[in-house]
Homo-oligomer: A and B are copies of this chain.
Amino acid sequence: MISNRFLNATDFLGFASSLSPLENEVKDTLRSKLYQKRYCKGELILESGTICKRICFIDSGLVKTFFYTDTREFIMRFFAEGNMFTVFDSFISQRPSAYGIMALEDTVITCLNYNDLEMLCQQHHVIETFYRKLLSMAAVNMMDRIGSNLEEKAHVAYHRFLKAHGMLLQRLSLADVASYLGITQVSLSRIRAMK
């Protein structure tokens, strides 16, 4: 049984331990593979078309994963401090990513490379457990999103977003929220106008 509510980690190791308790020696091994990176607001963390080599914990800041069509941008997900992100399809397959990642605020992340994670998974069962549970959480989140994408009219989706991610709202532009919801910024503006 896994739920975001129990996760309040402030760093990568804490996050991992909360999913799968790690003995100190495993922690040390894992720590030795981690590295930190800093990005400025607006900077690309991953360019679409390149391979996503790392999985990251957000120490501070805010990030979006997104993609473009000819005419519009769409946002897959926002990630704020205390959460982990990667572009799973590229990370898992180690093939070029259809998605990009961008820092929406000045952001500090702690990263672990694909090869290191795979190696650690083989060496330490508890790390594979951590990774498995992380994937489980991601899967549940994605199911939710698929369901609501199918079901909901834009104004319903917006109010659900408010409920689920309301605390992010003041940190996001209208345009980004709209891209997340799959509607235009103009439509979102109208939705907010009524009631």
Is the C-beta of A85 less than 8 angstroms from some C-beta in chain B?
A: no
What are the residues of chain B within 8 A of A76 when measuring CB–CB?
143, 146-147, 150
**Nearest B residue to A67, CB-CB:** B147
What are the residues of chain B within 8 A of A132 when measuring CB–CB?
121, 128, 131-132, 135
Q: Most chain-B CB neighbours within 10 Å: which of A3, A146, A149?
A: A146
Q: Can you identify 6 A-B contacts, CB atoms within 8 angstroms?
A: A89-B143, A139-B142, A145-B146, A146-B149, A149-B182, A151-B182
Does B147 contact A74, Cβ atoms closer than 8 Å? yes
Number of A interface residues at 8 Å Cβ cutoff, please give it.
Answer: 36
- Residues of chain A touching chain B, judged by Cβ–Cβ distance below 8 Å, are 1-3, 67, 69, 74, 76, 88-89, 92-95, 98-99, 121, 125, 128-129, 131-132, 135-136, 138-140, 142-147, 149-151, 182
The 7 closest A-B pairs by CB, nearest first: A142-B142, A135-B135, A150-B182, A132-B132, A149-B149, A74-B150, A92-B136
Q: Most chain-B CB neighbours within 10 Å: which of A94, A99, A132?
A: A132
Q: Most chain-B CB neighbours within 10 Å: which of A95, A140, A145, A150?
A: A150
What are the residues of chain B within 8 A of A144 when measuring CB–CB?
89
